[in-house]
Amino acid sequence: MDNNIQVCVIDDDEVFQYTILHTLQAHKSVSNIMPFTDGAEAMNFFNKNIDNNIILPDVIFLDVNMPVMDGYKFMDEYIKLISKATKKITVYILSSSVDLVDFEKTKKIKEVSDYIVKPIRDNQLTKILAEL
C-alpha cells in the first residue's frame, strides 16, 4: 500500500467532515487530506492545480447534495477538466441519499468508481485505500 495517498473530501456536512477526516488521519497510508465544503470551492482548487500531480489527490470522496455546487454539477465540470490531468484520480460518491434516482444517475457517470451510502465503514475505507 502506498504511504503517500492524497485524499480530497467534498462535503458540506460538518459532522461527516470531522468523522471522515479523523478516520483518514488514522490510516498511515494517507499523507494529505484536502477538505472542501462545496463543489465550487473544490472546482476552484482543481482549476488552479490540474497540471500539478504533486498536489492533485489520488481519490475524491464526493457528496451529492451540497449548496453552491452539488456533486453532480461538480462531476460535470470535473469531467470537462480532467482530460488535462495526467494523474489518475479515483472518485467515489459518498452520500446519505438512498434515492434510486441518485444511484441510477451515478451509474451513468463512468468517472465515478462507486456510490457508497454514508456513513462509510472503516473496512470500506481501508479497502479503497489499499486498492489505490
| 19-41: pLDDT as tens digits | 999 999 999 999 999 999 999 99
6 has pLDDT over 90: yes
Q: Where are the domains of the chain?
A: 5-131
Q: Is residue 108 over pLDDT 70? A: yes
Cell numbers representing residue 28 in the block:
498511515
- Inform me whether the pLDDT recorded for 111 exceeds 90: yes
Q: May I ask the CATH class of domain 5-131?
A: alpha beta
Cβ–Cβ under 8 Å, residues 74 and 47: no
Rounded Cα–Cα distance for residues 28 and 11 (Å): 23
Each residue's pLDDT tens digit, 42-72: 999 999 999 999 999 999 999 999 999 999 9
Residue 45, CA distances (Å) to 52, 81, 105 in order: 11, 12, 25
pLDDT above 90 (res 1): no
pLDDT at 99 over 90: no
Phi, psi dihedrals of residue 123, rounded to the nearest 5°: -65, -30
Query: Does the pLDDT at position 2 exceed 70?
Result: no
Percent of the chain predicted with pLDDT > 90: 80
